[in-house]
Structure 1
Amino acid sequence: MEKQKPKKLCQWNQEDMSKAYKAAKLGQMSIAQASKTYNVPRMTLSDRVKGKVAMDAKMGASTVLTSEDEISLVNYIEYMAQRGFPLSVSQVIGFAWCIAKEHPGARVFNESGPTEKWWRGFKKRQPEISLRRPDPLDRGRAAMGNVETMRDYFKLLKSTLETNDLKDKPERLYNCDEAGLSLNKSSGQRVVVPKRFKHAHSISIATSEHISVHCCVNAAGHSLPPMLIFSGGYPGGAYHKNGPINAAYATTDSGFMDKETYFQWFEKVFLQHCVKERPIMLLQDGAISHISPMLIDSALKNDVILLCLPSKTTHILQPLDVAVYKKYEN
């Protein structure tokens, strides 16, 4: 009796399977259409889309993030790039770690977090992403008032306003910013300088005794309750008794906002007190210390457009910094 030849397994590559999986999972194609388009087995694809089999099954050791998580990460990368803040490799790695921590009990990275090796594997599994040199909008510029940076930023701002029909709706345009308030008082005494010196700079002693205030206003002039962030821990006594109405309070080691406190502010203050009409835009500093996958998910869910200011231009382009905080400092 003639022996049957064993069937050849896995006659498809991971890149095609990833594309087919993404198309079917996002509803762009049916499983049958995706199977035919990308030349992968229909049942093999179906098992992965329905979660019966891990996306990377039979392709070596399992990855820390699921295929669905990696697709979410790709979507975050695209979201940030479209809003003027493309992520660096280290920032993508940070996002990956945040996503992994959302699955308690699942396989996680070691204490040092995702590595460059993980990044190389991720990039290979997700061929639609690539490393590119940032354009002038995204590159941190030390030169004050760079014309090209300003031009590109305002093009992005104009496009965002027009696309979302927000051009004549100031009540839906919000700006938020954080200011540190040092408890180390200066004397405020005037000093004598040569006439050619337009500014007199002084050296102040650094101190950890400070709080930060995170404020938010819209272009119509309405302000939201602030959030006050203490360093190290909350002060003793009824520190919030005579505080601003509906103010929120938080504490971090540094006394400045981090991902968790920024998300807390977004959920508990911003979404609770902003206008109910949608969409709305929130213009913010592009500090990666504030941006998290949770924030982006919440913004998408609540139809909030997050627009980031170009790096190192907040002293010129940040409305609260220029129009409010500067006057306070003076």
Structure 2
Amino acid sequence: MSPRGKAVMGKTIRGFAYQLAKEYGKSFPESWTTNGMAGENWFMGFRKRHSQLSIRTPEATSLARLYNSYNFEPHNIWNADESGFTTVQTPAKIIAQKGAKQVGSITSGERGTLVTICLAINAIGHSIPPFFIFPRKRYKDHFIRDGPIGSKGVGNTSGCIASNEKNVLLILDNHSSHCSISVINYCRSNGIVILTLPPHCSHKLQPLDKAVYGPLKKFYNGAIDTWMRNHVGQQFQIYDIPGVLKNEIPRAVTPNNILNGFLACGIFPLNPNIFTEQDYICLTQNLTVTQNNDSDLSILLNENVPDDIDEPYHDIREGDEWLKCTMCLEWAHSKCANYDNYFTCPYCID
């Protein structure tokens, strides 16, 4: 795989070994299930059985080399990604009296329920209808009754994601679900070449994040504001999300936005020099971390952190601090995160 620019890390191989062991009904230690991958001892044995393999430091492989290997045409270059939409919107700014300490705006609740949607776009400005993932064990067709024409849906308790004449390039983020055995086998059988992006780079390298999801979430928040004003006393439910997105997706998923997204990421037309040295500088934040009586670490951003937050919005892993987005609940490294009051990731910022 490495000659094609698909570097495989040790943890990836251990993860594949665990998936294959489950698929073929092989016995394995309980620790494999706990960790979601094979153990280090298995990996050492794997290396001994395959002496032709070694651990190497990879060389940078450009996207241009990948293009030249497969000769992708623009209509066969696709980007797919998922994003969460909550039943509680971020209220738009309003006019208020100067000096007022508290200014309120009606929302459907204090904390929302997340529905994930997946979109796919290609380099000539085309898109496919959205795919909805509802946080329900049993999916019903009426969930997307008012949704965009052609949309599909599925139920999942977590609410999260999972034959061609020519090869198709599918650009995805680095989520583990995109690199499972079943996904790889399906893509291999259907002429789909998967290109996964490095961690914490999708806001720069993924067209959907660059030019589509930002406007979509801005339109979505405004639409819920209008919905709340027109439905006084009613609560916005997850089943209302498809109906709202039916009107807002055509406003955000436009050929112009899609083409600009591929252009801004340097994917098509291919531009290896799209990024400057400034883009590779990691942002630093002055973060204050304290230890409380429960041995849980808390981050003191400022006095405006909501009192009703009951989930951990930061964590310490291997000595580094991570922040969780208060809207989509995705994690980001503290040195790469921008925050205002409390952390909101770039995908959820208007």
User: TM class, shorter-chain normalised?
Assistant: 0.5 to 0.7
Cα separation, 2, equivalents of 1:223 and 1:237 = 22
1:210 is aligned to 114
Q: Which amino acid aligns with 2:40?
A: E
Superposed, which structure 2 residues align to 1:163-312 within 5 Å? 163-166=69-72, 169-189=73-93, 207=111, 209-234=113-138, 238-257=142-161, 262=162, 276-312=164-200
Cα separation, 1, equivalents of 2:75 and 2:181 = 26
Q: 1:96 aligns with which of 17, 20, 28?
A: 17
Query: CA contact under 8 A between 1:83 and 1:306: conserved in structure 2?
Result: no
- Alignment of 1:122 onto 2:54: no
Q: Which amino acid aligns with 2:55?
A: L
Superposed displacement of residue 216, structure 1: 0.5
Cα separation, 2, equivalents of 1:282 and 1:191 = 45
Query: CA contact under 8 A between 2:77 and 2:168: conserved in structure 1?
Result: yes
Q: Which amino acid aligns with 1:160?
A: L
2:201 is aligned to 313
Higher strand share: 2
1:110 is aligned to 29
Cα separation, 2, equivalents of 1:190 and 1:121 = 63
Query: CA contact under 8 A between 1:91 and 1:288: conserved in structure 2?
Result: no
Deviation string, structure 1 residues 200-240 (Cα, Å, up to 9, x no partner): xxxxx995611111110111111123211122435778212
2:347 is aligned to none
Number of corresponding residues: 201
Cα separation, 2, equivalents of 1:282 and 1:162 = 16
Cα separation, 1, equivalents of 2:81 and 2:95 = 30
Secondary structure of 1:239's match? Answer: helix
Secondary structure of 1:294's match? Answer: helix
The structure-2 alpha-carbon separation of the partners of 1:296 and 1:182, relative to structure 1 and needing over 3 Å to count, comes to same
Q: Which amino acid aligns with 2:24?
A: H
1:323 is aligned to 211
Cα separation, 2, equivalents of 1:134 and 1:208 = 43
Query: CA contact under 8 A between 1:180 and 1:213: conserved in structure 2?
Result: yes
The structure-2 alpha-carbon separation of the partners of 1:119 and 1:238, relative to structure 1 and needing over 3 Å to count, comes to same
Secondary structure of 1:174's match? Answer: strand
Query: CA contact under 8 A between 1:212 and 1:256: conserved in structure 2?
Result: yes
Cα separation, 1, equivalents of 2:123 and 2:110 = 34
Cα separation, 2, equivalents of 1:237 and 1:298 = 26
1:24 is aligned to none
Superposed displacement of residue 109, structure 1: 1.0
Query: CA contact under 8 A between 1:208 and 1:231: conserved in structure 2?
Result: no
Alignment RMSD: 2.8
The structure-2 alpha-carbon separation of the partners of 1:108 and 1:223, relative to structure 1 and needing over 3 Å to count, comes to same
Deviation string, structure 1 residues 224-257 (Cα, Å, up to 9, x no partner): 2321112243577821222233323223332121
Superposed displacement of residue 283, structure 1: 1.1
Q: Which amino acid aligns with 2:184?
A: I
The structure-2 alpha-carbon separation of the partners of 1:238 and 1:296, relative to structure 1 and needing over 3 Å to count, comes to same
2:345 is aligned to none
Query: CA contact under 8 A between 2:135 and 2:156: conserved in structure 1?
Result: yes
Structure 2 unaligned residues grouped into runs of 5+:
33-37, 97-108, 218-349
Q: Which has the larger radius of gyration?
A: 1
Q: Which amino acid aligns with 1:298?
A: Y
Deviation string, structure 1 residues 175-210 (Cα, Å, up to 9, x no partner): 111111122222222599xxxxxxxxxxxx995611
Q: Which amino acid aligns with 2:44?
A: R
Superposed displacement of residue 286, structure 1: 2.1
TM-score after normalising by structure 1: 0.54
Superposed, which structure 2 residues align to 1:12-161 within 5 Å? 78=1, 82-84=4-6, 86-104=7-25, 107-113=26-32, 114-133=38-57, 156-161=62-67
Cα separation, 2, equivalents of 1:302 and 1:235 = 28
Cα separation, 2, equivalents of 1:218 and 1:303 = 16
